[in-house]
Structure 1
């Protein structure tokens, strides 16, 4: 009799503990998905199964549908500050609207990962800060129309939309070096989209002699160029921040222009 009573008491105690645990879970208002736990009908109705694509803008959806990849998904350790998604650019207009992520062709993103890995190995305190990736041709037209230069000089800074830019193919990237902890960009002598000889890699020796840039600026640019070279990128003569993953011929053979 005593044994039966003892078993009954233990059973009641366990039942009470289970009820208390269940009540505690209900107070959190969050369904548990642990092993052995089954959602009831109310829990299932309260779950939100919407995907991130429901919250992104039309421009970003079009880039994803075109097969491009978000660079931060390939290289989480970089920073992104799209200059054309703000008014901090040479013509003071936001033409990317709510786009905040930089996109590239998958092959180009993998090349950039090689460059990033070299940079982290050799300069662990540095990372990349991306200013622009793929640029739809319709945005290229806006840049072309707003560039206050003679048509004969415009191609030095912005490719003619009729021909298409390597940015339009998603195989060019604009970037700089930044502090790996804060994302603060290094001073490399000029701002992004600076139109003048101090931004020209081809004129660095002259600009040094004239005191327009410093040795520290050039050393930083050399680190950036070496990192990008390791990934198979090539620079251009008029912009220290611009790098191409493929030639125009290769890009046109491999990819379509993003309109």
Structure 2
């Protein structure tokens, strides 16, 4: 992956920045850990632990959001820690270039997802996801040992078991436990109070505004 260079004012040494990261910096997005180092980051698309089964971010390992969204995330983490001092947020995905959106969209074909159902799992790259505008974040909660709370499914799980709207149904069927739903509600409460909206089919995904608003205000990250 191509990289950019910058000079650290403190040391005078040049450091390298992945091109994908530099692109987001140039568009005014901010590194969330520079606002709150307590927030943990593990970009799943910079690993093979995702539904694609491969690294699609390359050298990118830092999470970026629009400044307004980043401030809300800091607020969410503060709210979480106020009610649960041993917990903190762990970010799985944040701003995502549209070029990566195309890769995720195409990967659904390999999973034999019917074309008519693809939008249930990945936003059409032609219109974009809120991630492509830096206005959405995927995340979970970890305990004092850094272990993610049990949310009933892994990140990027496809199906009703991951749907917030289906939690009571899954509870009645014995497929989710009360504790798993409670863990999701801990995350949801902090995020909602900070100004993020819940996604009805992904317990880990939260939007800072509508896609139409994000497109008008910020434009797409290419």
TM-score, scaled relative to structure 2: 0.92
Q: C-alpha separation between the residues in 2 aligned to 1:234 and 1:191?
A: 20
* Residue aligned with 2:88, SS: strand
1:153 maps to which of 96, 117, 124: 117
Q: C-alpha separation between the residues in 1 aligned to 2:118 and 2:67?
A: 29
Counterparts of 1:68-87 in structure 2 under 5 Å?
68-87=29-48
Does 1:58 pair with 2:58?
no
Does 1:122 pair with 2:83?
yes
- In the other structure, the counterpart of 2:6 is none
Residues 175-202 of structure 1: CA deviation (Å, up to 9, x unaligned): 00101x3322111100000001110001
Gaps of 5+ in 1: 1-46
2:129 maps to which of 165, 169, 172: 165
1:213 Cα deviation from its structure 2 partner:
1.0
1:255 maps to which of 210, 218, 222: 218
- In the other structure, the counterpart of 1:19 is none
2:193 maps to which of 217, 230, 255: 230
Residues 7-37 of structure 1: CA deviation (Å, up to 9, x unaligned): xxxxxxxxxxxxxxxxxxxxxxxxxxxxxxx
TM-score, scaled relative to structure 1: 0.79
* Residue aligned with 1:64, SS: helix
Does 1:107 pair with 2:72?
no
Number of aligned residue pairs: 210
Gaps of 5+ in 2: 1-9
Using CA pairs under 8 Å that are at least 6 residues apart, name the structure with larger relative contact order, 1 or 2.
2
1:218 maps to which of 181, 193, 205: 181
Does 1:136 pair with 2:136?
no
Does 1:97 pair with 2:61?
no
Q: C-alpha separation between the residues in 2 aligned to 1:210 and 1:192?
A: 21
- In the other structure, the counterpart of 1:195 is 158
1:48 Cα deviation from its structure 2 partner:
4.9
1:226 Cα deviation from its structure 2 partner:
0.5
Task: Compare the two structures and name the one with the higher helix fraction.
Answer: 1
* Residue aligned with 1:60, SS: helix
Does 1:209 pair with 2:172?
yes
Residues 118-168 of structure 1: CA deviation (Å, up to 9, x unaligned): 111111111000000001000000000001311211111110000111000
Moved runs in structure 1, 4+ residues, more than 3 A? none
Q: C-alpha separation between the residues in 2 aligned to 1:143 and 1:249?
A: 21
Task: Compare the two structures and name the one with the higher strand fraction.
Answer: 2
Residues 36-95 of structure 1: CA deviation (Å, up to 9, x unaligned): xxxxxxxxxxx95124xx322111111111111111111111111100001000010101
